[in-house]
Homo-oligomer: A and B are copies of this chain.
Amino acid sequence: MARLSQVFVPKDREFFDLFEEAASNIVRAADMLDQMLGTYPERRELARDILICEQEGDRITHDIIKRLNQTFVTPIDREDILAMASALDDVVDFTEEVADFMGLYRIEAPMEQAQRLAHILLQSSRQIAEAMPRLRVFKDISHYTVEINRLENDGDRVVREALAALFDNGIDPMVVIRWKDIYERLEAAIDATEHVANILEGIVIKNA
C-alpha cells in the first residue's frame, strides 16, 4: 500500500506535510508557553497567541480529515492517520489550557516547577518535530522515543515534587487546588507528546 502510493499517488504525501505542520505548531505553542511562564507575569498576553496556535491546530486536524475523505489510497493506514492527527491536536489543546488557566485562576507569580515543566514540554515537542520527517521513509525513531520517555519521566518527578511542596508549605487550600490543576494540565501536555511518540513508533513498526 505504502509503496504503491509513493509511486502512483504522490499527492497523498501531503499527509506528511500536514503532520509536520502540526508538529511545528506544537513547538510554536510550547515555545510561547515556556516564554510566558519564564517571564510571568510580564508577557502574559502570550496566552492569546497560544490560543491562535490552538485554532491553527484545529484547522490542520480538519484539513487532515477532509483529505482523508477525498483520498483513495493513503500512504499509511487511515486509522493511524486519524490517531496521529488527534494525538497532535491534544498537545496544543493542553498547552493552551495551561496558558488560559494561568489567567482564569488569576495566578500572579508562577511556581518554579511550572516553569520547569513548560521547559520539558518544549523539549519534548521539539523531539516530536525532529522525529516527524522520518515517518516519510518509516525510519527507526527509537532515538527520539527514548528521549521523549526520559523527558516524560523528568516531568513526572517534577510534578510529584511540586505537589508534595504545595502540601508541605501549608498554603491556602484555594491556592493548592489551583496549582494542582495547572500542574496536572502541564503533565497532560507532556504525556500527550509521549502519546504522539508512541503512535509514531507504532506506525513505523507497522510499515518498516
Contact = CB atoms under 8 A, between A and B. Distances in A.
Contact of A106 (B106, B167, B176, B178): B167
A168 to B, nearest CB: 8
Nearest to A66: B142
B68 A205 contact: yes
A142 B62 CA distance: 10
A82 B206 CA distance: 10
A28 to B, nearest CB: 21
Interface string A59-95: 0000001001100000000110010001000000000
A205 B164 contact: no
B160 A167 contact: no
A34 interface: no
A82 to B, nearest CB: 5
A178 B167 contact: yes
B208 A86 contact: no
Contacts of A198: 82, 86
B82 A160 contact: no
A79 B202 contact: yes
A87 to B, nearest CB: 12
A177 B82 CA distance: 35
A24 B205 CA distance: 26
B205 A78 contact: yes
Contacts of A173: 173-174, 177
Nearest to A206: B78
Given A65-B142, A69-B205, A176-B177, 17 more contacts: A65-B201, A68-B205, A69-B140, A69-B142, A78-B205, A82-B201, A82-B202, A82-B205, A104-B163, A104-B164, A106-B168, A163-B181, A167-B174, A170-B174, A173-B174, A177-B180, A180-B181
7 contacts: A65-B142, A69-B140, A69-B142, A78-B205, A173-B173, A173-B174, A180-B181
